[in-house]
């Protein structure tokens, strides 16, 4: 048994000015980089952010005007499912390929809403 285990003294932590540390962190550049396709890169580790939960989806027309806004891919797929029978997988493909599709006589394109977690 270690007889000294309860009597060891741990060093006192240095007093840190919390306000100074907060200002230093806020002044530093962001560790996130947002790509045009909506993915978020973590610069320090060089990997893409995963597990962000629901991804917001925006649907634009030919002229770049926002037509529809959805809180998730599933919600977007359910909306278009009633008209086309579109699945969630199809919406993922349209997001990755960034192609136009016709709906109610308009050419529409789906994009991820770019936002930081």
DSSP state of 72: S
Question: What's the pLDDT at 14?
Answer: 63
Calculate mean pLDDT across residues 84-103: 73
Rg (CA), the chain: 24
Domain segments of the chain as ranges: 20-48, 57-112
Give the rounded distance of the alpha carbon of 103 from its chain centre.
27
- Among 17-21, 47-51, 85-89, the range with the most confident prediction by mean pLDDT is 17-21
Tokens of 48: 């893409």
Q: In the chain, pLDDT over 70 holds for what percent of residues?
A: 71
State the sign of the Cα–Cα–Cα–Cα dihedral 59, 61, 63, 65.
negative
- Residues contacting residue 28 through CB under 8 Å, at least 6 positions apart: none
Identify the burial level of 77 via C-beta atoms within 10 angstroms of its C-beta, where 0-12 means exposed, 13-18 middle and 19 or more buried: buried
Q: Greatest CA separation found in the chain? A: 82
d(CA 112, CA 29): 24
pTM confidence score: 0.49
Span between the terminal Cα atoms of the chain, in Å: 49
Check pLDDT > 70 for residue 64. Answer: yes
If one compares 31 and 91, the residue with the highest pLDDT of the two is 31
Most confident listed range (1-10, 18-27, 89-98): 18-27
């Amino acid at each position: 048994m270690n007889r000294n285990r309860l009597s060891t003294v741990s060093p006192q932590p240095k007093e840190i000015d919390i306000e100074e540390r907060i200002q230093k962190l806020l002044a530093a550049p962001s560790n996130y980089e947002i790509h045009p396709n909506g993915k978020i890169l973590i610069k320090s580790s060089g990997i893409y952010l995963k597990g962000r939960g629901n991804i917001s989806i925006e649907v634009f027309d030919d002229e770049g005007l926002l037509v529809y806004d959805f809180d998730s891919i599933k919600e977007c797929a359910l909306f278009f499912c009633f008209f086309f029978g579109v699945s969630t997988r199809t919406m993922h493909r349209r997001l990755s390929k960034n192609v136009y599709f016709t709906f109610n006589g308009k050419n529409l394109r789906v994009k991820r809403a770019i936002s930081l977690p």
